[in-house]
Structure 1
Amino acid sequence: MSTQIPQGWADLTFFNTDWPAIQAAIDADPRTILPPAHQRFAALERTSPDKTRVVILGQDPYHTPGKADGLAFSIPTDFPGRLASLGNILKELNSDLGVTRQQTDLRDWADKGVLLLNTALTVPTGEANGHKALGWDKLVHQVLARTSQRPTAFILWGNQAQKLATHINPGDHLILKTAHPSPLSARRGFFGSRPFSAVNDWLRARGEEQIDWTA
């Protein structure tokens, strides 16, 4: 199945100037690329610009087959392996709000206006950061510029995400920067950061509906 350009974002110049070359590079790559083609723009398809209230920026997709579904940190419910970063996110959610979430598929967050975007939208199987330099950053720059045209909460986990903060337009935003939830770095500032309550406090102060982070 081919990769479809997400309608709500189709006017971004990336899709005319950068995407054709990226797609050609992916098509020419003999390795198995994750997630599958029909899921590569899942985050943008699920959360349109006008619905985006929160942006959670990750790194790149999981590089284990069957684990990446096109939404940053989300894992299909039938995946049998380790949760890794998502497991730590769910631990922090429980510590922050007392919420015990069993569902690993985060599509419900996306449907509530949480754009779950990675800084690279593809990865070769078994090669973390393998497409870091492929050109996906151009898309992320434009998405951040678009979403920051109005007040938005931005959660930037890890150095790669935080470096992109310069592409957020000035405004009445909430910008949270902490360590990545990966098992390698979560104890360097991710645990105890309470991002979920911080977002809801910000939304409530603006008179907006809070995010229901439960499944």
Structure 2
Amino acid sequence: MGSRRREALLADVDPEEAAGLAALARTRRPWPGVLDDELEKPYFRDLMGMVDRGRRTGVVYPPAGDLFAAFHLTPYDKVKVVILGQDPYHQPGQANGLCFSVPRDVPRLPPSLRNIYAMMTRDGLTPPPHGDLTEWAQRGVLLLNTALTVRDSRANSHAKQWRQFADAAITKLSDRDRPVVFVLWGKAAQRKRDLIDEDRHAVVTAPHPAARGRSQTEFREAKTLTEVNRRLDTLGVTPVDWAIT
């Protein structure tokens, strides 16, 4: 059955659900064979409907095609590090589906990303002249926000609705035999620590990249990337090349 015909039949039954499912189909499924059951749950269909209504009545970030970018760029069996963010940047042109990352043509980097680059410098790395962290994602670093969408200029506006899905993704990684290093920056990310089996995996913590004052200094001096590679080596996993071109 053609996609237009199927969408039309769904719309006859439940227009909002059909809109959400159509949006999901357009953006491709995240981690096929891993999260499939999660995508069939009623809360997820409601979530997709909410996101679709938000796009029809206002502005939602990131663009629909980037909704599951983190999962597409870092397949489940390739994940060796997880950097956990909160929700996408909520200003025009910044969100690209990867936590803390922005498209290459964004002229002024958000404060959190500027602090990440300051941390890279303290860690002996040269930050790139842009804010796109796609190369990290392609090397096994899952750049996961705990909310995958946000309304324009309204931080955390979809945080509650995405919580169950984000927890499921973290739990799936925690259940995996191959070890992962989880990077939890800030208190919000560190509240997810209970979902991680630390007998199997490693956790690295530091203040949030957007922290100010003493916490900002602590973040910049944490040498998180060196510590992540040390933990990976201990776990028998090849360290990450953190250099970005």
- Distance in 2 (alpha carbons) for counterparts of 1:100 and 1:63: 23
Q: CA deviation digits over 1:67-122, x for unaligned, max 9?
A: 00000011111012333111110110110133333342111100100000001000
Structure 1 position 165 matched with structure 2 position 189: no
Structure-1-length-normalised TM-score: 0.92
Cα distance change of structure 1 residues 10 and 147 upon mapping to structure 2, 3 Å threshold: closer
Q: CA deviation digits over 1:57-76, x for unaligned, max 9?
A: 01100001110000001111
Q: Which residue number in structure 2 is paired with residue 131 of structure 1? A: 158
The residue matched to 1:189 in structure 2 has which SS? helix
- Distance in 1 (alpha carbons) for counterparts of 2:117 and 2:127: 7
Cα distance change of structure 1 residues 96 and 69 upon mapping to structure 2, 3 Å threshold: same
Larger radius of gyration: 2
- Distance in 1 (alpha carbons) for counterparts of 2:182 and 2:125: 22
Structure 1 stretch 176-185 or stretch 60-69: which is displaced more? Answer: 176-185
Q: CA deviation digits over 1:113-147, x for unaligned, max 9?
A: 0000001000001111111112x111111111111
The residue matched to 1:133 in structure 2 has which SS? helix
Query: Residue 172 of structure 1 aligns to which amino acid in structure 2?
Result: R
Identical-residue share of aligned pairs (%): 35
Q: Which residue number in structure 1 is paired with residue 183 of structure 2? A: 155
Greater relative CO, 1 or 2 (CA 8 Å, sep 6+): 1
- Distance in 1 (alpha carbons) for counterparts of 2:82 and 2:31: 18
Structure 1 stretch 175-184 or stretch 6-15: which is displaced more? Answer: 6-15
RMSD (CA atoms): 1.9
Structure 1 position 22 matched with structure 2 position 47: yes
Q: Which residue number in structure 2 is paired with residue 114 of structure 1? A: 141
- Distance in 1 (alpha carbons) for counterparts of 2:127 and 2:108: 19
Structure 1 stretch 3-12 or stretch 111-120: which is displaced more? Answer: 3-12
Counterpart mapping for 1:64-75 below 5 A: 64-75=91-102
Query: How many pairs were matched up?
Result: 214
More helix by share: 2
Counterpart mapping for 1:1-215 below 5 A: 2-8=26-32, 11-17=35-41, 18-29=43-54, 30-134=57-161, 136-148=162-174, 149-150=176-177, 151-184=179-212, 186-187=215-216, 189-215=218-244
User: Which runs of 5 or more structure 2 residues have no equivalent in the other structure?
Assistant: 1-22
Structure 1 stretch 65-74 or stretch 167-176: which is displaced more? Answer: 167-176
- Distance in 1 (alpha carbons) for counterparts of 2:235 and 2:53: 48
Query: Residue 45 of structure 1 aligns to which amino acid in structure 2?
Result: H
Structure-2-length-normalised TM-score: 0.81
Query: Residue 142 of structure 1 aligns to which amino acid in structure 2?
Result: A
User: Which runs of 5 or more structure 1 residues have no equivalent in the other structure?
Assistant: none
